[in-house]
Amino acid sequence: MTMRTIDLAASDPAAVAGLLRRSPVPDEAVRRRAAAIVEDVRRGGDAALRAAADLYGGGLAGGELRIPSRLVKQAARAASPATVAALVDAADAIRAVHHPQRPVDHTVEPKPGVEVTRAWSPLRRVGVYVPGGLAAYASSLLMSVIPAQIAGVGEIVVATPAGPGGELSDALLAAAEMLALDEMYAVGGAQAIAALAYGTGTIPPVDKIVGPGNAWVTAAKLAVFGDVGIDLPAGPSEAMELADATADPRIVAADLISQAEHGPDSVAVLVTPDAGFAADVLAQVDALLPRLERADLIRSALAAQGLVVVAATVDDAVTFADAFAPEHLSVQTADPEAHAARITNAGSVFLGHWSPHSAGDYATGANHVLPTGGLARAYGPLSVEDYGSWRQVQRLTEAGLAAIRPTVAAIAAAEGLTAHRLSVDLRFEEEP
């Protein structure tokens, strides 16, 4: 397998910095076109949504926007017992991990008679985008909906594209039936994000949009942000393997390609202090690909987005990994605990030989909706807290206000905002 390789120590620092300056939507043309699709749907409603489905795909075979409950129930019956059992097991793990995340209100009293409460409440209506089309992501439905249910969101709306023939995945719909979802729409891409954000004749608007997607979905989420809330820019999947010669090259190769099979824009990076080990990993990639159904897609992803970084030392490799801020980071070194402790910028970290990305994608209960494009520097995994909002509630007594009156007066004078001071002073003056 041929992947772009750089020697970190011998590389121009500006070129290395260029690798680190990333975005979940690096193509400006995609941003512009996604914004145009969003505007078309905002103005045109259902008609524009159907036109986009005709042009880009993602609609049901019969042309319906809302997925009928009969299809959901039929799919739940058609799904294999093994699939249903796996979905139940995954859902149980997700609930176990996410239940403790529900925020707790708290109150502090910085001064006697001054009380400030931070109160959290769930959102009213949330739109969940679930990728689809060539692949179906029942796991993403579980990851996005279960935290919303734990949060107590009033209305959960799902948008997911149908496959090329206008069909929907039995596994996806079985998961929807298991979660008792009753509002689902067969729409995908940037047009789905626009419909959720602004509403159409059929789809009422939501207050926030969550869920992963490709570059078009992510660009559309960024385009509607401000008119509606979004969770995080979760674009095309990324895998980084931080490994030294103590790791098994066959296992590292398997982890590297596990995320590359999502699509041709999936990022796959190996960072190692050992050039010989890197060559062994690439040889193992070649050996494993013939066993995989999506081998051609993986090859194209690795050719376009694959990268091997050879560092002078393992410490330099750790520093690069942290600066890259990957979505998924596997640490397979002689001391994975110590090296991972130095990582502050990563969506989800997997420690050691027995911790593959796939375990987190499906079964550990950790959320797999993660920041991409370097945004793990500022965002974390999707969580229960993303489905609510905080308020500050302030209560003051007369004595409490009197105690902070000099502070208000001094700062108001320094800022030249005398009406701020007046609003306090008047409370202590007798009416004329």
Q: Can you tell me the distance from the alpha carbon of 67 to that of 59, in angstroms, rounded to the nearest whole number?
A: 10
In a domain, 307, yes or no: yes
Confidence of residue 66 (pLDDT cuts 50, 70, 90): very high
pLDDT in tens, 20-36: 988 888 889 999 999 99
| Average pLDDT for 56-66 | 89
Q: Are residues 311 and 281 in the same domain?
A: yes
Q: Would residue 421 count as lying in a domain?
A: yes
Average pLDDT over residues 169-196: 96
- What integer best gives the mean pLDDT of the chain? 95
What pLDDT sits at residue 236? 84
- Residue 67 has what DSSP assignment? P
Q: Which helix (H) or strand (E) holds 42?
A: helix 28-56
Q: In angstroms, rounded to a whole number, what is the distance separating the alpha carbons of residues 77 and 89?
A: 18
Which of 343, 365, 387 is the C-terminal boundary of a domain? 365
Q: In this predicted structure, which of 149-158, 231-240, 422-431 has the lowest mean pLDDT? A: 231-240
Predicted confidence (pLDDT) at residue 151 exceeds the cutoff of 80:
yes
Distance CA 120, CA 102 (A): 9
Average pLDDT, integer, range 307-323: 97
Condensed to tens digits (0 to 9), the pLDDT of residues 346-355 reads 999 999 999 9
> What phi and psi, each to the nearest 5 degrees, are found at residue 106?
-150, 150
CATH classification at residue 118: 3.40.50.1980
Both 46 and 134 in a single domain?
Answer: yes
Cβ-proximal residues to 151 (8 Å cutoff; 6+ apart), any chain? 102, 122, 123, 384, 385, 387, 388
Q: Cβ neighbours of residue 118 under 8 Å, at least 6 residues apart?
A: 105, 106, 107, 390, 391, 392
More confident residue, 426 or 76: 426
The predicted-structure confidence for 246-292, as pLDDT tens digits, reads as follows: 999 999 999 999 989 988 889 999 999 999 999 999 999 999 999 99
Q: What is the pLDDT of residues 89-135, one digit of tens each?
A: 999 999 999 999 999 999 999 999 999 999 999 999 999 999 987 67
The count of domains in the chain is 3
pLDDT for res 134:
67
Please state, in angstroms and as integers, the Cα–Cα distance from residue 76 to each residue in 86, 158, 407, 420, following that order: 13, 17, 63, 61
Does residue 219 carry a pLDDT above 80?
Answer: yes
Residues 119 and 221 in one domain: yes
| pLDDT above 90: percentage of residues in the chain | 88
In the sheet where 114-122 sits, what is the strand order? 106-111, 114-122, 388-396
Q: What is the mean pLDDT of residues 318-344?
A: 97
**Final residue before a domain boundary, out of 206, 232, 258:** 232
pLDDT of 399 reads 97
pLDDT of residue 248: 98
Specify whether the CB–CB gap between 29 and 211 falls below 8 A: no
| 397-408 exposure pattern, b = at least 16 Cβ within 10 A, e = fewer | eeebbebeeeee
Q: What is the mean pLDDT of residues 360-379?
A: 96
Are 179 and 263 contained in the same domain?
A: no
Catalytic residues: 327-328
- In which domain, by residue range, is 419 found? 397-428
Together in a domain, 264 and 226: no
Domain match, 252 and 332 both: yes
Shared domain for 198 and 284, answered yes or no, is: no
Element of type H or E holding 394: strand 388-396
